[in-house]
A and B are shown apart, each in its own frame.
Chain A
Amino acid sequence: MTELRMRGKGADPDSVSENGDNKEADGGDRLGLPGEAGGEGDGDSESKADTPEVPPSTADNTPHFLNKAVEGLNPRWKNWWIRGVLSLAMISGFFMIIYLGPIMLILVVMTIQIKCFQEIIDIGYRVYHSYELPWFRTLSWYFLICVNYFFYGETLAEYFGALVQREDSLQFLVRYHRFISFAFYLAGFCMFVLSLVKKHYRLQFYMFAWTHVTLLIVVTQSHLVIQNLFEGMIWFIVPISIVICNDIMAYLFGFFFGRTPLIKLSPKKTWEGFIGGFFGTLVFGFILAYLLAQFQYFVCPVEYNSETNRFTAECEPSDIFVMHQYTLPSTVQDILTWKTVNLYPYQIHSVALSTFGSLIGPFGGFFASGFKRAFKIKDFADTIPGHGGIMDRFDCQYLMATFTHVYIASFIRGPNPSKVLQQLLVLQPKQQLSVFFTMRDRLRDRGILPPAATDPM
């Protein structure tokens, strides 16, 4: 999430200071920006030439009824109220989507991904004045579709194994999925090469690279979010809530107690906010994990039931969602006079998630702030009144999604059984037989299977 500036007053002083700061930066990379042929010392002409300094003018996007409702108030509080109302609206929206279930969540994730991609590509177009190169929009969207096709195809093949086995056309697509995706990507690559226009080589390469980096960041991570979701909705809800909570807590602590600046990059962040946010998020994560771990709806892996053609989340909750007794260390025992405490193991994992969200999450925010300062934009876009674009809300989430995914892969689950079975069925018959015999011996060793003497096989 971006630095929480007071937007009502912030527009003018910020833009002036940014111009002053970045004069020399742009002098250095004159080569990179076509619009700055003459401008080294003149901050204004630079900013006009390359990036339209679109002041966020939040009030313009605010719906009419909100404007009327807060008309009477002081302008500073007015803006604060708009932000607050929109925050509540977004959080309620979040709850509604969770209630509606996994399919909705996937669709919403996909929509957000597309919007983030569009916002970043728009910035690239503005920076490079690429609007007049008609192929770019087509190519950028085409690459987005290709990469999404690749990732969704891999996901579908894994999780919808039974459905895929039934339909022949789907089976063909799954078996040659990588080849088909690669062919699509190649077609885009060739179109790019053929579209190179003599005077615009550098611009075109820049946009090509910009598109690819954006895809790398936005699309891969949105798919990690969906993979986390399939592990169980709790793995989706808790990380996102932790990041949101950290943002709000850090803001509140900073607002009331903030004194020492944290980093030059975001002057409004303070150490008090950072540390307060850390502890606040730990507690919040702990409590939220406790609340959610009791419901099957949240903790069970999402599975696709091919008979009813719906997603279900029904299972025997795994060990980490079963209450365990932990003995407290003696020091804590003296303080609390309890010998043991009942916890879900998942709550301990939530401590790790909260720690990451509070310590490293802000770096994602700093990265986005640096990016906006580098390209002299105030917000990624104006989609949400009072908050900026979708990217502004989601910039901290990306690192969190990747971390959650890696965490799950390392500490929680093993490989996905249906995927392993699928791989088994693709092997050559000889290989299948040898795997079968290996497994049989192992299972016998473990006592799961009856030993050879009584087993006729």
Chain B
Amino acid sequence: MTELRHRGTTENDLLYQQSEDKGSENEGKAEKDGVSDSETKPDTGLLEVPVPADDTPEVLNKALSGLSSRWKNWWVRGILTLAMISFFFIIIYLGPMVLMLIVLCVQIKCFQEIIHIGYSVYHSYHLPWFRTLSWYFLLCVNYFFYGETVTDYFFNLVQREEPLRILSKYHRLISFALYLTGFCMFVLSLLKKHYRLQFYMFGWTHVTLLIVVTQSHLIIHNLFEGMIWFIVPISCVICNDIMAYMFGFFFGRTPLIKLSPKKTWEGFIGGFFSTVVFGILLSYVMAGYSFFVCPVEFNSDHNSFEVDCVPSDLFQLQDYALPASLESFTGRPTVRLYPFQIHSISLSAFASLMGPFGGFFASGFKRAFKIKDFANTIPGHGGIMDRFDCQYLMATFVNVYIASFIRGPNPAKVVQQLLALRLDQQLNIFNSLKSHLTERGLLVEAA
């Protein structure tokens, strides 16, 4: 999430931003090296654009017309925040399918915002192939990832339908062929005077795909583990943002990093502790419901997603003996916790410590390209990327965390791979497994 500046009125804000940028870039302008010279001149007119208040819907404007302009903006932000959070609850209620669609939409919007910035920076609008090629690459990469996901999780459905089975068997080849077509189109579209621009846009598209698309698929993988693995990380990041803002607002004194002058150490540390507490409480509330903790499975009989299972050990209350110091403090010898709550501490810690780096990265990016927000999609907040910049690192971390500490490989997937092997290899593995299980005493030799 971006630094939470007071947005104020349009003109004040714009001037403030320009003066802030000019102040920080003054030294840059004086340089002969030309790093900033060539940047500031053409940029100033073009990209100092965003005028957030214009996007605010009429209804909100009217409702707030009486208030002072500073508070008006604060209210707009507040209302939109509440709107987004309610929207979040609604889609959770609607279930996994809707969540996946929403993730897909957010991904497409983020991609569009970043590519749009690339076009503005490089004045690439007049190269008609680029938009086509960028969207084509987005489609290819999405096809590849969704195909892998579908094959993993919808195994039974895929095996039944003949065309799906072929698509799934040769999935990598088809995806690669699609990508290659795009690559060849790129090479054929190289125009004599625009080589460098075209290579820049190609690189820009690929880096954007790497960041946006891979991580949105990691989010969906997390989702399939159980909706709690989707909700808790996102909520921790949002909470950290809000808490850091509150603590910074009330107690902020020492600046945190030159890159984002409004962040403070007090906000950072206060946000850290409150996010940890929030995470523990939220996990406690959620771990009680199988809707949240069960892996999402596709029921091929009903053709719908269901979440129904015996919750794993992670989500069963257990007794933990408190260390002696805490015992005397709280007067209780043991405490009942879900093991998941302990995992939530690591998730919250990551969200509070590393999440802000994602925000700094996005701030640096915006300063580098002299834009205020990624786009104007959300009144008072900027673009979708502005809201989601901290989430990306979080999604990858959760995925890696789950793979390392929580689950092993998916048994259905292992069976699938086994059945694809040659028969003699299957027999070998069967015998190895048998001896392994017998050694462990799990299998009893009857004779």
Contact = CB atoms under 8 A, between A and B. Distances in A.
Interface of A: 21-26, 28-37, 129, 175-176, 178-179, 182, 186, 189-190, 192-194, 196, 198-205, 209-210, 212-213, 216, 263-265, 360, 363, 366-367, 370-371, 373-375, 399, 402-403, 406-407, 409-411, 414-415, 417, 420-421, 423-429, 431-436, 438-440, 442-443, 446, 448-449, 456-457
Nearest to A420: B417
B195 to A, nearest CB: 4
B400 A31 contact: no
A427 B407 CA distance: 8
A204 B368 CA distance: 9
A202 B187 CA distance: 27
Interface residues of B, number: 92
Chain B interface secondary structure, helix, strand, loop or mixed?
Answer: helix
A30 B198 CA distance: 14
B162 interface: no
Contacts of A409: 172-173
12 contacts: A22-B193, A29-B196, A32-B122, A34-B39, A199-B31, A201-B368, A209-B203, A415-B421, A417-B425, A424-B418, A425-B436, A431-B411
Top 10 closest pairs, chain A to chain B, by CB: A201-B368, A374-B195, A37-B34, A456-B447, A179-B404, A374-B196, A415-B417, A202-B368, A410-B173, A423-B409
Given A367-B183, A410-B172, A21 B192 contact: yes
A289 B151 CA distance: 34
Given A205-B364, A433-B443, A264 B196 contact: no
A9 B257 CA distance: 55
Contact of B404 (A176, A189, A200): A176
Counting chain A CB atoms within 10 Å of each CB, the highest count among B190, B437, B440, B442 belongs to B190
Contacts of A202: 35, 39, 368-369
Interface of B: 24-25, 27-28, 31, 33-39, 42-43, 121-123, 169-170, 172-173, 176, 180, 183-184, 186-188, 190, 192-200, 203-204, 206-207, 210, 257-259, 354, 357, 360-361, 364-365, 367-369, 393, 396-397, 400-401, 403-405, 408-409, 411, 414-415, 417-423, 425-430, 432-434, 436-437, 440, 442-443, 445-447
Contact of A31 (B38, B367, B436): B38
B173 A456 contact: no
Nearest to A425: B436
A23 B198 CA distance: 15
A423 B414 contact: yes
Nearest to B191: A25
Contacts of B443: 433, 436, 457
Counting chain B CB atoms within 10 Å of each CB, the highest count among A194, A199, A411, A443 belongs to A199
B170 A423 contact: no
B368 A448 contact: no
A212 B411 contact: no
Contacts of A457: 443, 445-446
A25 B123 CA distance: 11
Contacts, number: 245
B346 to A, nearest CB: 11
A90 B349 CA distance: 53
B357 A421 contact: no
B189 to A, nearest CB: 10
Nearest to B366: A201
Contacts of B369: 202, 205
A420 B426 CA distance: 10
A415 B169 CA distance: 12
Chain A interface secondary structure, helix, strand, loop or mixed?
Answer: helix
Given A31-B43, A37-B38, A432-B442, A196 B403 contact: no
Contacts of A179: 400-401, 403-405
B39 A31 contact: yes
Nearest to B397: A182
Nearest to A21: B192
B357 A414 contact: no
B259 A436 contact: no
A30 B42 contact: yes
Nearest to A359: B184
A429 B173 CA distance: 35
Contact of B367 (A201, A363, A407): A201
Given A34-B38, A193-B364, A402-B176, A417 B433 contact: no
Contacts of A264: 192
A360 to B, nearest CB: 6
Contacts of B34: 34-37
A428 B419 CA distance: 20
B357 to A, nearest CB: 5
B203 A25 contact: no
A25 B357 contact: no
Given A196-B259, A423-B408, A414 B446 contact: no
A424 B414 contact: yes
A29 B197 CA distance: 6
A419 to B, nearest CB: 8
